[in-house]
């Protein structure tokens, strides 16, 4: 374990690296877990890459809905790449140390990409709201320029909102223990190792979680309440079924992603446990990205047709 001496406190020491505990408590399953996570990672990469390719190649999918879906798939690939490759490497080696800089970098990109996903999902719900509730104005409101502006705003907002927060977290004194009881540098396990006053950071976590998770979720929920009310008024049963099928795919992804994120970052600190934190983290770092291509490919006829045309 690496330390640096704090001149102001004589013999006290400050940590300059962590040891990721990961799944060291199940040594007999290291090989199995490596194979499992490798397969999951490959499925996520291939599935989301296929969505990106078909939305670029197929002219019938050159619409705002699939433009945002393509952005979301790019995000999913980046999102899992922040955590899973490191996890796979740690399952193969004894030394699982991670420097402060590497830990801070991983946390920043994980939070930034997660925030961007929340914003992109909100933009996708707005697109569905305009398409179903204001169909005559849809081509005018959701033009290509606005779509690019919305997507750019989502990426820039996600990239900037967590810079200061990550800096504040790693400005805290970490005096030991050095073992991070998690498989990546997430906020709750890192804060557990801080020996300073973390009250301000914990309050900031709730504020950011509200702005990034709760507020977008409320907007999405409001959009879908109006969408459902409009769909129920459609005279055609076929039209209602098509609208519900399209929107239910997006809503399933929203509930999976926002549900696990809300439980992780907004539940009281006293209810946090190592096992639960790790399980929830596995869920929103691997399960949501793997469900995304499955949900959209299996439940979306346009995507299914485009895939069949793409395959030889």
Calculate the average pLDDT of the chain.
81
Task: Measure the CA–CA gap between 72 and 66, rounded to whole angstroms.
Answer: 9
- Reported as a pLDDT band with limits 50, 70 and 90, residue 120 is very high
Among 2-16, 125-139, 143-157, the range with the most confident prediction by mean pLDDT is 143-157
Mean pLDDT along residues 37-65 = 88
Task: Measure the CA–CA gap between 179 and 299, rounded to whole angstroms.
Answer: 43
- Reported as a pLDDT band with limits 50, 70 and 90, residue 3 is very low
Question: Given the DSSP bridges, would you call strands 179-180 and 17-20 parallel, antiparallel or unpaired?
Answer: parallel
| CATH 1.20.1070.10 given to domain 20-310 | yes
CA atoms within 13 A on the CB side of 101: 0
Helix, strand, coil % (nearest 5) of the chain? Answer: 80, 5, 20
With 50 as the cut, is the pLDDT of residue 76 above it? yes
- Reported as a pLDDT band with limits 50, 70 and 90, residue 191 is confident
Length of the chain: 312
Q: Report the b/e string of 15-52 with b at 16+ CB within 10 A.
A: bebbbbbbbbeeeeeeeebbeebeebbeebbebbebbb
Task: Measure the CA–CA gap between 302 and 58, rounded to whole angstroms.
Answer: 10
Compute φ and ψ for 13, nearest 5 degrees: -125, 155
Task: Measure the CA–CA gap between 220 and 74, rounded to whole angstroms.
Answer: 21
What integer pLDDT is reported at residue 21 of this predicted model?
81
Is 294 strand, coil or helix? helix
What integer pLDDT is reported at residue 234 of this predicted model?
74
Report whether 80 contacts 41 (CB < 8 A): yes
CA gyration radius for the chain? 22
- Reported as a pLDDT band with limits 50, 70 and 90, residue 1 is very low
Is 277 strand, coil or helix? helix
CB atoms within 10 A of CB 104: 17
Mean pLDDT along residues 220-237 = 84
CA atoms within 13 A on the CB side of 159: 8
Who wins on pLDDT, 299 or 18?
18
- What is the C-alpha end-to-end distance of the chain, expressed in Å? 54
What integer pLDDT is reported at residue 14 of this predicted model?
55
Structure tokens that stand for 30 in this block: 């290291």
What integer pLDDT is reported at residue 42 of this predicted model?
93
Mean pLDDT along residues 81-99 = 88
- Reported as a pLDDT band with limits 50, 70 and 90, residue 312 is low
Mean pLDDT along residues 229-246 = 74
pTM confidence score: 0.85
Among 21-25, 80-84, 306-310, the range with the most confident prediction by mean pLDDT is 80-84
Question: Given the DSSP bridges, would you call strands 13-15 and 17-20 parallel, antiparallel or unpaired?
Answer: unpaired
Task: Measure the CA–CA gap between 82 and 284, rounded to whole angstroms.
Answer: 13
With 80 as the cut, is the pLDDT of residue 267 above it? no
Kindly report, residue by residue over 134-173, the tens digit of the pLDDT. Answer: 989 999 999 999 999 999 999 999 999 999 999 999 988 8
What integer pLDDT is reported at residue 160 of this predicted model?
94
What integer pLDDT is reported at residue 55 of this predicted model?
87
């Amino acid at each position: 374990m690496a330390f640096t001496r704090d001149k102001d406190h004589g013999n006290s020491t400050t940590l300059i690296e962590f040891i990721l505990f990961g799944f060291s408590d199940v040594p007999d399953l290291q090989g199995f877990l490596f194979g499992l996570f490798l397969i999951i990672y490959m499925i996520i990469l291939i599935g989301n890459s296929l969505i990106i390719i078909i939305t670029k190649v197929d002219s019938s999918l050159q619409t705002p809905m699939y433009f945002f879906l393509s952005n979301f798939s790019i995000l999913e690939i980046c999102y899992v790449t922040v955590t899973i490759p490191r996890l796979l490497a740690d399952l193969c080696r004894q030394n699982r140390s991670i420097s402060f800089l590497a830990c801070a970098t991983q946390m920043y990109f994980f939070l930034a990409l997660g925030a961007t996903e929340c914003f992109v999902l909100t933009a996708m719900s707005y697109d569905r709201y305009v398409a179903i509730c204001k169909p005559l104005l849809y081509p005018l409101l959701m033009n290509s320029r606005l779509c690019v502006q919305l997507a750019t705003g989502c990426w820039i907002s996600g990239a900037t909102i967590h810079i200061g927060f990550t800096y504040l977290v790693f400005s805290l004194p970490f005096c030991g223990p050095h073992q991070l009881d998690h498989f990546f540098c997430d906020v709750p396990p890192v804060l557990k190792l801080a020996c300073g006053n973390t009250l301000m950071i914990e309050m900031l976590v709730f504020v950011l979680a509200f702005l990034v998770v709760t507020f977008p979720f409320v907007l999405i929920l409001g959009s879908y309440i109006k969408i459902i009310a409009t769909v129920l008024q459609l005279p055609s049963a076929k039209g209602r079924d098509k609208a519900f099928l399209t929107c239910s795919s997006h809503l399933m992804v929203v509930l999976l992603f926002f549900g696990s994120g809300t439980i992780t970052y907004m539940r009281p600190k006293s209810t946090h446990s190592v096992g639960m934190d790790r399980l929830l983290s596995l869920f929103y770092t691997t399960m949501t990205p793997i469900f995304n291509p499955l949900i959209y490919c299996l439940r979306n006829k346009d995507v299914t047709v485009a895939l069949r045309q793409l395959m030889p």
